[in-house]
Amino acid sequence: MEASSDIRNLLACATPQAWLTAALENLDILLLDHANCEKKAASTAMSLMFRYGERYPQIQETLSRLAREELRHFEQVIRLMQRRGIQLRSLSAARYAGGLRKHVRKHEPERLVDLLLIGALIEARSCERFHALAPRLDAELAEFYRGLAAAESRHLNVYLKLAKHIGGDAAAERYKVFAKIEAGLITDKDRDFRFHSGPVH
């Protein structure tokens, strides 16, 4: 289970065109929710460090670096929003991450493996969406998203390698299970547009 240079190989479906159309019509919400996603990504990495760091010391430094980078991305999105006059405000969460976590196994180390695989899938989808959006955006935002896509690809590799280290060869089959669930969440219609929503009805 390796992260391919073609991120689409790690996803069971591509982002629907309807979502891309909605993104271009809701750039303010896209950036707002993107900022929230970067904050949540940092929080997730830190939560895993605190919960599993003593049992699996190898994850400590790796996830610490990842959390710092996610917070830097949050700061970059905030600065970009400020330049565009977009005020930071709260948004309701998408059903995406919760929909994935509903399927996490309860016993260890299976639970940790599932959480790492979910982290990998979220990074893969983010990377895919950055690539899909970039050609459709203004020059500043397109350059920013292309740079973030490279970082998300690195984070994806981090999560995949940790999952394989802890879960062994079985992690690859488990990844396929979550990839199918993730595809359903991405293709099913959502009420509200979010960075990780499906098409909005």
Q: Which two tokens stand for residue 17?
A: 């065109």
Residue 4 domain flag: no
* 3 within a domain of the structure (yes/no): no
| Number of independent structural domains in the chain | 1
197 in a structural domain = no
Contact 120, 159 (CB under 8 A): yes
pLDDT band at 5 (very low <50, low <70, confident <90, very high): very low
Domain that holds residue 165: 17-187
Q: What is the pLDDT of residues 191-201, one digit of tens each?
A: 999 999 999 97
d(CA 82, CA 143) in angstroms, rounded, equals: 17
Is residue 198 included in any domain, yes or no? no
Q: What is the SS3 assignment for 23?
A: helix
Calculate mean pLDDT across residues 157-178: 96
Q: What pLDDT sits at residue 4?
A: 39
Task: Report if residue 182 sits inside a domain.
Answer: yes
Instruction: Tell me the average pLDDT of the chain.
Output: 94
pTM for the model? 0.94
Residue 9: predicted pLDDT: 87
With contact defined as beta carbons under 8 Å apart, do 100 and 182 qualify? yes
CATH number, domain with residue 139: 1.20.1260.10
Residue 122 included in any domain: yes
Whole-angstrom distance, CA of residue 2 vs CA of residue 178: 16
pLDDT tens-place string over residues 6-45: 788 899 999 999 999 999 999 999 999 999 999 999 999 9
Instruction: Decide if 163 is inside a domain.
Output: yes
Is residue 123, in this structure, part of any structural domain at all?
Answer: yes
CB of 93 closer than 8 Å to CB of 29: no
